[in-house]
């Protein structure tokens, strides 16, 4: 008979405060391939979501992820056959606690 694993109960987290919801955008700009474009939330807010867009012929979005400290979003791209790429970055910010 196979062993049965026991999973300990984990208490539910406290309710989060998502007041002050705000969508912000770093408009498209051409940057050298693989250059990080970083968008920061306004002071006192944390990023709760985000995204990025690579623009141009043969443009590829290489990365779209939150900053290590949770206060912004990063977009990275490249464009095949060119030295630069257009990148826009979006972040959803809130008074998350």
| Whole-prediction pTM | 0.79
Q: What is the pLDDT, as a whole number, of residue 97?
A: 63
Half-sphere exposure of 45 (CA within 13 A, CB side): 21
Per-residue pLDDT reduced to its tens digit, 6-44: 666 656 555 556 678 899 999 999 999 999 999 999 999
Q: H-helix or E-strand containing 6?
A: none
Per-residue pLDDT reduced to its tens digit, 51-64: 999 999 999 999 99
What is the rounded CA–CA span in Å between residue 64 and residue 81?
22
Q: How confident is the model at residue 49 (pLDDT cuts 50, 70, 90)?
A: very high
Segments making up each domain of the chain, as ranges: 22-94
What is the rounded CA–CA span in Å between residue 14 and residue 19?
15
| CA proximity to 89, closest of 46, 42, 43, 38 | 38
């Amino acid at each position: 008979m196979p062993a049965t694993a026991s999973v300990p109960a984990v208490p539910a987290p406290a309710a989060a405060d998502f007041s002050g919801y705000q969508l912000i955008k770093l408009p498209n700009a051409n940057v050298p391939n693989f250059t990080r474009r970083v968008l920061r939330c306004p002071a006192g807010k944390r990023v709760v979501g985000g995204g990025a867009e690579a623009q141009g012929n043969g443009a590829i979005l290489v990365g779209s992820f939150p900053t290590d400290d949770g206060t912004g979003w990063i977009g990275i791209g490249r464009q095949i056959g060119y030295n630069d790429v257009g990148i826009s970055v979006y972040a959803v910010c809130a008074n998350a606690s």
